[in-house]
Amino acid sequence: MDRLVYERMDEQEAVHWWFAARRDLIGATIERLIRLPDRPAILEAGCGTGGNLRMLASLGDLDAFEYDEAARAIAETKADVAVGHGALPDVIPFAPKRYDLIGLFDVLEHIEDDRATLNRLGERLAPDGRLFVTVPALPWLWSAHDERHHHFRRYTRRSLRRTAQEAGLAVQDCFYFNSLLLPVAVAMRAVKAALRSDSPDDTLPANWLNGALYRVFASERHLVGRLPMPVGLSVCAILAPGPSR
């Protein structure tokens, strides 16, 4: 990603509504849908500037890796976690360690060979481990935001499920989230298109609006595993080692 994107991420991920609510939803999903052993071994693949590290470290013994050197240096300041250098799909540190949980949070869309990436990460799972993936959804929402963030694609639930299965993984769950704000996002993109605006989508809004958007998005954590949403701005999958492993 562009250097300015990492800088903005570092400045905002503790308080920006999207980062904060996504952390809450990730935590709720792990608690409700993923059975972990005592003191599980956890890996975050592509941890960026480290906004999820503290939350994940509270769940078990955490390792992390990141490709970008500057982002990795920032991440190392945010939690007492080993942050190694890695490059998906083929350079995954900490071998031969196997993990009970691997998190790949809004990373897969940045990698050209997504199938190989899921396959290689699947090889690092413990026998009962899980790979938890989140990605941006709905290809028809493609915008300058995706180009600025160097995305290769946006997914549907069907395409993410198919990619995981082609990578040799079993799909435990696959569902949309950030659904309640979808109409707002569609309207904003329409306005920006009409105005030919190229302003970033991830700037920090005013405090009152940031709080309101956080409350709407974070409320979806109560729906995880209970009420599947038909569509959303993001899609996630919980993947298990395939039968051949």
Residue 239 near residue 118, CB atoms below 8 Å? yes
Distance, in Å, from the CA atom of 92 to the CA atom of 140, rounded to the nearest integer, reads 32
Q: Does the pLDDT of residue 147 top 70, yes or no?
A: yes
Residue 86 near residue 66, CB atoms below 8 Å? yes
Q: What is the pLDDT of residues 86-113, one digit of tens each?
A: 999 999 999 999 999 999 999 999 999 9
Task: Report residue 245's pLDDT band, with 50, 70 and 90 as the boundaries.
Answer: very low
3-state SS assignment for residue 134? strand
Predicted local distance difference test score (pLDDT) of residue 5 = 64
Report the chain's mean pLDDT, rounded to a whole number.
91
Distance, in Å, from the CA atom of 113 to the CA atom of 152, rounded to the nearest integer, reads 9
Q: What is the pLDDT of residues 168-199, one digit of tens each?
A: 999 999 999 999 999 999 888 777 666 666 66
Proportion of the chain above pLDDT 70, given as a percent: 91
> Which residues have CB under 8 Å from 14's CB, separation 6+?
20, 51
Instruction: Please report the beta strands in 92-183, taking only residues with DSSP state E, as ranges in sequence order.
Output: 99-105, 125-136, 169-177
Q: What is the pLDDT of residues 195-234, one digit of tens each?
A: 666 666 668 889 999 999 999 999 999 999 888 899 999 9
Proportion of the chain above pLDDT 90, given as a percent: 74
How many structural domains does the chain have? 1
Q: Does the pLDDT of residue 1 top 70, yes or no?
A: no
Q: Is the peptide bond before 96 cis (omega within 30 degrees of 0)?
A: yes
* Full residue range of the structural domain in which residue 225 is found: 3-241
Task: Report residue 82's pLDDT band, with 50, 70 and 90 as the boundaries.
Answer: confident
Distance, in Å, from the CA atom of 111 to the CA atom of 94, rounded to the nearest integer, reads 20
Both tokens of 103, joined, read: 């998190």
Q: CA dist 1 to 107, 137, 146, 197, 218, Å?
A: 11, 19, 10, 21, 26
Q: Which CATH number covers residue 133?
A: 3.40.50.150
Q: In 64-206, which ranges are continuous DSSP H helix?
A: 69-75, 114-122, 144-148, 157-166, 182-195
